[in-house]
Every structure is written in structure tokens, then in C-alpha cells.
Structure 1
Amino acid sequence: MGSAPLPKWASEPCIMGIDEAGRGPVLGPMVYGCLYCACSYQKTLTSLNFADSKTLKEEKREELFENLKADNCIGWEVDIIDPKELSAKMLKRVKINLNEISHNSAMGLVSRVLDIGVLLTEVYVDTVGDAEKYRIKLTERFPGIKFVVAKKADSLYPVVSGASIVAKVTRDRALRDWVLDETAEDMHRNFGSGYPGDPETKAWLDYHKHPVFGFPTLVRFSWGTCTSYSKDMVEVVWESDKLDEDGSSSGKRQLKLSNVGVSGYNRKSEDVESSGKGRSKFFQARKLELITEF
């Protein structure tokens, strides 16, 4: 991990497990975690009592995570995907869906471990989407590695169970220590589990929605869960410096978007006359305009 020298066992054939935590919640990051060790360490790994993190209490997960961190025969890595990044990718003009984000994260972890010099020969992954197509995709990207992609891999293979614990504890800590960017005086952190079906989470979303700015950055605003809250949001119009054919900016048009940023609604655009002259670059960059009436 980090700048620590690579252990001797990393030059032996190694096995890796990959799993995620936080795919379904509407709040907080999605975390991909991996655990790797020498293939010769597998029997010992089996005796460490790793299990699917969802079947363990928080205290046990924390204990196992600290144990694996202290084990010099185990390596691990995480990829923390911010809720803003998740929503931005899923709402791009050319959308990147959650499965693709997940695949890219898993492949990024494999690349990261290979790049530090670990001799990976086998990788076990909990499937996302079609297992066989995912296995082929991974094999084509990393032809020198044997991939096993299976449903419930976190309960079948101890190396994936360990990765599950890495991912789950990392996400739990990230959510617990999350610093809310927003400064509203009435904000609170009683958001429950973060899952859409949690009454406490739904109450938190309803309480913290804003008619103009939407939700706090903790929220994955691209989730369908957020759609029902958009009916109370106002329509926003801002100046858009539209480029002319010669590449210059006319500064005379506004872009009008309704229900932007929430999946499940159609975007409506309308051009509006606007001078746009003399505006500061600060305001141009943020598409802000001085108003005199409400």
C-alpha cells in the first residue's frame, strides 16, 4: 500500500478478489475494493473468517478490516467514486451507465495493482451484468490473467469476501465522516442507511431539497429516487455564450432548461434574447446574471 516497498510474496503468482459497496444507495459514494495475496496464502486466507460483508455486523467488519490491514501477507486497494461523479457520468449527453462505471472501476484496480509490480495470475470478481460478457471484457483487457466472474462471489471465495469487507468498511467510514459542503443552518446528518427505501433517508431528502439548487452534494441526484422531489423545483434560466460559425461568442442567447439534472424528465430548451455585454468572466463562466425583481 502507498509508498511501502513491495513485499517479496508479490513476485510470486498472486490472487485477487474485487467487490463493491454502495451500488444501490441514493446517498454517498460507491466504493470498489480489492484484496490480493500470494496464491500460496489461500489456505490461510480461508482461516481468517472473512465473509460477505452484508452478513456481518459493523463491529465484526471493522475488526476484520483492521486484521487484514495488519497482515503483511495481504494487500488491498480501494476506488471511491464520489456521488457527484456518479451523477455527472450518468447524465452526460453520452451517458455512462452504472454497470460501465463499475467495470471501469474494477479494471482500474487491476491496473493499479499490476502497475506496482504485483504478479497477478487469478482475479475473482462479483458479477455486474452478464457474467460471461464481463469475463470476456476483463480477459481481453488483461489477457495474461485468469478471471472468474460469478454471482455471490463474495460468499463463495474468501478473497472476494475480504474485498467486500474492504469496500464496505471504507464506504461506511466515508459516509460517517462525510463533511457536508453546504452551510445551511438547518442541515443535519440523520439520513439513515442512504438506501431509497429507508424512511429516514426519504425524510432527509425531502427536508433537504432546495427549489433552485436541488440536493446537497452527498446525494446522487441522477437516481430515480430523486425524480419525485423535482416537482417543487423552480425553472432556471441562465445566459449561454453560444459560439457563432466563426468561433466568436454572440453573447445574445439564453438557454432555458426545465427539470434539468433529474432522470425521467424530458429537457426543454428555449432560446431567449439577452445582451450579455459587459459581463464579468466570473459570471460568464457560471452563467449568472444580475436580477432586479423577484
Structure 2
Amino acid sequence: MRWIAKASREHEVILAITLRVAPLLQGTESRGALDLIDALSLNMQERAFASSLFLRPLLRLEGRLLYHYERKLLTLFAKAFVVSKRDWAHLGRHPKLKVIPNGVDLHHLNYAWRPAPPETVLFLGRMDYPPNVDAALFFAREVFPRIRNRKPSARFSIVGANPHPKVRALAREKGIEVTGFVPDIRPHLARAAVFVAPLRWASGMQNKVLEAMAVGVPVVTTSKVLAGFEGMESGKHLIVADTPEELAEAVLSLFNDPQGALRLSREARALVETHYNWDRIGVQLAKELRGF
């Protein structure tokens, strides 16, 4: 805190990333901008719906406390940002709060989709993060068996650091791979037939979806994930499904219709180039930070 107080006198603006570091700016908030990324209170609220009866009231209480804390921070900082309109609306459309979306580095993530046998369904992310853990277990237990019944050669690849013990245990199931950390996600994306983001609770914006779209992998995701994006249409840029039956059918439809999958792939890449390019988004952020 002492270092920040001193540094704040030597810089034009302080940008704090996430509410977790906001307390370190005590006394300097009026010259700072706070990037919440997403509304953590919304994340807790969403998580409560998918949790056990024991955890549900605790998570709801945590969500309410976080909401009041987030609202308090908005009064202290000169400006604040979230990545989606859903989070902006959740926090009451506060006049200091701006929406600046996440994006991807298109120089790093080239369009490189070349699916290779066997037909692989890919899910990636940090695998100790509760929404990702829940999504991996849900897909492996309730969706993937339906796919394997009709496409026995199909594989489910779970890629990401620090897999939870329950996720690691999935590797014992036939057709399921759990890689743990990989140094480069691009080869895994390029050869996957379908990318899935079967999250049952979510806030903010899932960058994993943008990364898959940038490389060109056809995406199947849930309505909870879609709610964080602007301009995405189910059936044009990706496929949205929520129940195990719907998710399995969506994946199988892409397996069985290569031309349809290719159309989805190209439309998704075009959307990312237009709306979710880091170069364009960086200009937006720089403009906001110059406006102090």
C-alpha cells in the first residue's frame, strides 16, 4: 500500500485488476480505474444454483456481500470496467461502469483448424476452477456417454493446468484424456473436431470460447456462456445447448456434417476478427484511461 501510494504520485492513473487488489489502493481510488473483469457476486449467485443444499445458502450470502462490496467500490474509483453487458446490468448499470470486452491475440491464434481422427471433443481451462471442474464432470458423466453410444471412436480431451482430483480420475474412463498443463494450446485446438464449453454457471466472458473460435474450431456451449457475449448467434457462430441430450446431439451433428461445421468455423473466426480483436479492444481501453 505504501509503494502504491508513492507510485501514484508519479503516474497519471492506476489500473487495478480485480476487486481482490482494490483494498491496496486505499486513499488513491479517486485517481484509479478498477477492472472488475466480471461481477464476482454474479458468479457466486450462479454457483449457488448448481451447488448442494448445504452450500447454497452460504454462496447466496457470499454473493449478496460481494454485491454490496462491488457497488461500494464503484463509488470510490474514478472509473470501472467489466467485460460483458450482463455483468454491467447485474451491477445496476452504474454510470462509472463501462463495458470493455475480452479479446484474443489474432497474431498468435491463427485460423488453423485441421481436425484429425479420432473425432475429439476438446474442453480447456484451468481445471481447479470450480465452474470448469463442474463442467468437465457434467460433460464426462452425462453427455459423453451419449456421444460414445453412437460414435464409439469419439474421444473427450480435457486440457488445462492443475486438474482437480475428480477431473484426473476421469482419465480412467474409456475415451477420456486429461492432459494437465500444456505449454501451447494451439495444437490441441487445431486438431479437435469440436470444442465444448459446457459450463452450468458463468459470469463475465469465457475467453476459452474466443480462443477456439479464433483457431476455427466449431463451438458447442451453454446459454449461460452465450449470455456473456455480444453479437453471437446460435446456429451461425456456434451451437447453444443446455441439457445432456441437446449437447450430445449438437456435437454429433457437427461430427456428421463437415460442411456445416466448416461454415460455423468460418463465421466464428470472422466474428472474432471484427468484435474480439485485442488490437481493437486495446484502443478502447487506452481511450478510457486517457480520459482522466
Larger proportion of helix: 2
Could you say which structure has the greater relative contact order, defined with CA pairs below 8 angstroms and 6 or more residues apart?
1
TM-score, scaled to structure 2: 0.23
Structure showing greater Rg = 1
TM-score, scaled to structure 1: 0.23
